[in-house]
Structure 1
Amino acid sequence: MNGADRNLPALVEAAGPSATAVTLAMAQGSSTEVRCHGRLGRALSAPDCTPDTVFELGSVTKTFTALLLAAMAARGELTLNDPLELHLPYPWRPLTVRSGGPVRLLHLATHTAGLRRLPPGLLAGAVRAWCSNPYGAFGEQELREAVARTTVRSRPGSRYEYSNYGVALLGRLLAETGGAPYAELLTERIGRPLGLRTLTCAADAPNRAIGHRRGRALPPWRMPGLPGAGAVRASGADLLRFLRAHSGARRGESGGEGHGVLGAALREVQFPRLRLPGSGDEVCLVWNHRRAGGRDLFFHSGATRGFTVFVGFSPQTETAVAALANTGPTMDGRFLQAGYGVLTETAGNR
């Protein structure tokens, strides 16, 4: 297997001149490759990028939140159909629903809760830091106030609308039910069982790449009030372990977790829940699902102001791909398209 060596140059080109570090992690069956390019920053003294270099994952965080939800459901701590209010911290006021039934956890994990992309009140405090850390001033209190101010105008479950707010709120509810902050719960329930040593929400994570936007170095991404939507960091090597756990779950492998609670959760997140309007694509628990060439492809992307990430896997072909760059996303999405192209090519060759 030499797919990573062949595809890394194209990813480096797609990342553009702002990126100083690019990682491509790939798996086919039992064979794995992690190839890296560049350094953690622009200084000549900056350490080299390695398989253990930590990148900000942006919205790829949501796939971890989905797995945490499914794992807690498999343990009997909650159900996907639980109303949001059942897990709301005390004394938070519930949001208002104009019509239909309550907002359920499943709605939050499938972007069908009727919530906007961002919580009310966030934009007003984000303007000054919009190009670097727009979520940095939005904390626990701001999220609590946002929930109390929210009115859901469409019937929950009736319409798909991608929502950072919804998945972030889901992460907060899981933390409340699990009895620990989101970051601790993620490490205990997901990171340790899967052997993800670099998985963290900490902005000062060791061995981290420095994010860049248009050639300018940026401070670490911070999401104190919305970690479940985009605060996770991990290395390319650990992302590959995470993806292989998903692709192996159907065969009872998953790094020793193919059976039991986590194995059940890894399978649960791959079950399609709805079809996107005007598209053959489906939404699972956070994951996007597409049939291509008779194969199932599951994929998600993520970005912060200084990083861009693509992840995907195909269970039938035992294929997994993670592409990471320490530069913010471009309008044409060329890095994400390149990552998706590596996934489809690799899965098609299996």
Structure 2
Amino acid sequence: MAEAEDTVARLRLIRSPRIGPVTYRQLIARFGSAEAALDALPALAGRGGGAAPAIADAGSVRREMAAAAKLGAHYLFLGDTHYPPLLAELENAPAAMLVRGDPALTRRTCVAMVGARNASAAACRFARQIAQGLASEGVTVVSGLARGIDTAAHLGSIGEATVGVIASGIDIAFPPENRDLQERVATEGLLIAEQPPGTEPLARHFPSRNRIIAGLAQGTVVVEAAPRSGSLITARIAAEAGREVMAVPGSPLDPRAQGCNLLIREGATLIQNVEDILEAIRPIDARAVRAPATPYAGEPGGEPGMSERRRVEGLLGPVPVAVDELIRQAELPAAMVQLVLLELELGGRLERHAGGRVSLA
């Protein structure tokens, strides 16, 4: 298959309803190519007890590809040589991302910096200085191009090594006042978007953006954050992925410092300078980064019969449960359980949740 046609097939699979990052990875691992996975969708959904998902139109995908090319962006697919290795370790790593700039920046030591949008002037100055210090040490600074701490982090590392991850299409700047900064990140660093061109930054896209920020980095630094904020979501994702979580302490009288102080109380590394960050991430050896295992590689199990499907489905309910727990209680090969879950999801009867948990829709 020509490379362009393979790209069309991959994007059709990714843009189809019910095909999330986990499902995409499992389909490619099982069928070997996007084209074969597309052909298998109706049968899989039928065994899952539902109608086959509507498959994204090839024409709309080609129009998306043309728009991306016009913007000077190109795709990074999961499994590609230049796909960020640490990000690929996440179970729900993006199947495809649009990028502008130098993808090699993600193969260096990366540290994420996040924090409050309404950050204090002192915190913004501190974040800018820390980012500048990290970049001068050869560390890539990753942030989300939001107001406040994100902006300060990019301003400190621009021209050295900065990566911006946005929740919109790669052609949409949010907030609008960061349009020039976003363009500088794209031309002097690396700009990443998971959403197709033209997508506005909706609220549901920001948690997905946050997982990319955390997934790219060996550690995440939080500088000012409210107890219930996107910055703490990013820190939680980093912790779940086994990455270092670091926080800058603040006054207990400032609500913007409560999130950071809470993280420190819960075990995050207290950060006061660049040296503290470098010391925290130093034990991680980049040579230890490995390609993520696929759900089906080398696993026995074969095709599940009706009794195996009933056993797995009987263990599911409206309350999310970890897939590992399902495998243990079903007493079936992991690959077989994963296939049943895949069929149920494609049939519209399964929902996936954070932390590798699933429930009946």
TM-score scaled by structure 2? 0.24
Higher relative contact order (CA 8 A, sep 6+): 1
Q: Which is greater in Rg?
A: 2
